Amino acid sequence: MKSLLLTFLLCIVHLTVLSQKKHRLLVITGGHGFEKVPFYNMMDSLGNFSYDRIEQPKGNELIASAEVDQYDALVFYDMNDSITPAQKQAYLQLLQKGKAMVFLHHSLVSYQNWDEFQRIIGGKYYEKATMVNGVKSTYQHDVTIPVKIENPAHPMTQGLADFEIYDEVYGNFLTQPTIRPLLSTTHPGSSKYIAWTNPFGRSEVLFIQLGHGPEAFGNANYRKLLRQGIEWSIMRHR
C-alpha cells in the first residue's frame, strides 16, 4: 500500500514538473523589417514558452545543425531567399521527422525560387507576375480586417469568436489544395484564407498571415491565436 502511494505521489510530482516546464522556441527573423520591441513584448506575453532569437542567414545554419533538436518548435517571422541545398534538405528531414513549425505573416514570401517551400507552408506570395497566368500578389497595410473563424473546433481557435484586427492583407496569393483552413476574411484586398494548417511529411505546418505591426501584436485575439497555435503545434508533434 505504501509503495502504491509513493508511486502515485511521484507521478503527481512528475506531472507537475512537466506542466511547469516551459516549451522552448526558436524565433527566426530576418529579411524584412519589423518593430522589434512590440513584437518581442508579444512573444513575452504568450505564457509557457521560453525562446531564443536568431536572424537569417544564421537561422538556416542552425536549422541544418544538431542544435535544432533542443527546440520544441520553430517560429518563422522571416522573409528569406538565401538557402543552400544542404539547408533545404535539413528542412525536409525535420518535417519528415515531425518537427513543429509555425510560419507567420511575411514568411509566406520566402524562397521564391524553391518550389518545395510552397508545398511546405501551403501557399505562395508571388513577388513577381507569374509566367503562366500573369498573377502578382498584392498587399495593403493599415486596414481593418474582419476575421471569420473557419474551424471553431480546432485547438488554436478555442474560445475565440469572429473578430476584427487592424493589420495588413495579402491578395492574389496561391494556396495549396492540401490546406485545412482555420481563418478567413471577406476583405476585398485579401485572399480568402488567412490561416491554415498544411500536412507535410509527418508534420502539420501552421501558417498565420496576420501579424504586421504593433496594432496586431497587441491585439488580444491575435495573441490568443498565436499562443494556442504554438501550443497545439508542440503537442501535435510530440
Whether the model clears a pTM of 0.85, i.e. scores above it, the answer is yes
DSSP 69: G
Task: Please give the Cα distance from 148 to 198 (Å, whole number).
Answer: 19
The DSSP code sequence of 175-212 is E-TT-EEEEE---TTS-SEEEEEEEETTEEEEEE----
pLDDT tens, position by position, for the chain (238 residues)? 555 444 444 444 343 433 457 899 999 999 999 999 999 999 999 988 999 999 999 999 999 999 999 999 999 999 999 999 999 999 999 999 999 999 999 999 999 999 999 999 999 999 987 655 677 999 999 999 999 999 999 999 999 999 999 999 999 999 999 999 999 999 999 999 999 999 999 999 999 999 999 999 999 999 999 999 999 999 999 9
CATH architecture of the domain 23-236 equals 3-Layer(aba) Sandwich (3.40)
Any residues with CB less than 8 A from the CB of 66 and at least 6 apart, and which? Answer: none
DSSP code at position 22: P
